[in-house]
């Protein structure tokens, strides 16, 4: 929070902050650990999913008490990477259908009821998952009304051309923006 305050004070224009969760507490996960290949226990609409959605609101509440607001949150950082990550990485695995249901039944309504005007972004993973992921989530009218845009990572961009992923998704869902939210170099040791 002190670093965010310094950055906000130094900026000549407003900073738009977004947050993206890596994992839920161990007691909410199928593997009983914040690390590794676990999913949220149960299914959308149950006590685990509602409680996880409420964690988002508590997070926003606590930062707001310290005069830090978030422009957006993502439903999950790299939800499919949760199936592929090394066992020590903190993550939650979601399929597109699981993310759709979580957004439609739990996270979307929780954000809408909250006092926060924080936008909700979906996917937050490699663009190789587009347009399929968007079709599953945004193809559901309930989920789509809560989602402002799609968060995308660049690591596997060389595998799929932008026309087949970004452009195809934009043509299908022009009212939802596409935003790159994560990128770095040096993640492949052979490059």
Task: Judge whether 188 lies within some domain.
Answer: no
Task: Judge whether 152 lies within some domain.
Answer: yes
Task: Judge whether 177 lies within some domain.
Answer: yes
User: Which helix or strand (DSSP H or E) is residue 122 part of?
Assistant: strand 119-126
Q: Is the pLDDT of residue 90 over 60?
A: yes
Q: Is the pLDDT of residue 101 over 90?
A: yes
pTM over 0.85: yes
Task: Judge whether 10 lies within some domain.
Answer: no
- Cα–Cα dist 120/118, whole Å: 7
pLDDT, tens digit (0-9, with 9 covering 90-100), for 140-165: 999 999 999 999 998 888 888 999 99
pLDDT, tens digit (0-9, with 9 covering 90-100), for 35-64: 988 999 999 999 999 999 999 999 999 999
Task: Judge whether 119 lies within some domain.
Answer: yes
Task: Judge whether 187 lies within some domain.
Answer: no
Phi-psi region of 36 (alpha: psi -120 to 50; beta: other; left: phi over 0): left
pLDDT score recorded for residue 159? 87
- Cα–Cα dist 183/25, whole Å: 26
* Coarse DSSP helix, strand, coil percentages of the chain, rounded to the nearest 5 percent: 45, 15, 40
Cα–Cα distance list, 33 to 27, 37, 88, 154 (Å): 7, 9, 10, 28
Which has the closest alpha carbon to 19: 60, 50, 80, 58?
A: 60
User: Which helix or strand (DSSP H or E) is residue 58 part of?
Assistant: helix 47-65
If one counts the domains in the chain, the total is 1
Task: Judge whether 79 lies within some domain.
Answer: yes
* Pair 50, 106: CB distance under 8 Å: yes
Q: Which residues are catalytic?
A: 78, 182
CATH code of 28's domain:
3.20.20.80
Full residue range of the structural domain in which residue 177 is found: 15-182
Task: Judge whether 191 lies within some domain.
Answer: no
């Amino acid at each position: 929070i002190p670093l965010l305050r310094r950055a906000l004070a130094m900026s000549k224009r407003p900073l738009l902050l977004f947050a993206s969760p890596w994992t839920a507490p161990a007691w909410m996960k199928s593997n009983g650990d914040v690390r590794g290949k676990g999913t949220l226990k149960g299914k959308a609409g149950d006590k685990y999913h509602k409680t996880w959605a409420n964690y988002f609101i508590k997070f926003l509440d606590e930062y707001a008490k310290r005069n830090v607001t978030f422009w957006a949150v993502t439903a999950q950082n790299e939800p499919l990477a949760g199936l592929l990550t090394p066992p020590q990485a903190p993550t939650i695995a979601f399929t597109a259908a699981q993310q759709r249901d979580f957004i439609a039944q739990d996270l979307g309504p929780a954000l809408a009821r909250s006092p926060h005007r924080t936008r909700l972004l979906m996917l937050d993973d490699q663009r190789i998952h587009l347009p399929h992921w968007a079709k599953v989530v945004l193809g559901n009218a309930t989920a789509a009304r809560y989602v402002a845009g799609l968060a995308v990572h660049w690591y596997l961009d060389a595998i799929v051309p932008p026309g087949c992923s970004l452009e195809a998704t934009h043509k299908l869902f022009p009212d939802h923006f596409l935003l790159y939210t994560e990128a770095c170099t040096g993640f492949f040791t052979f490059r």
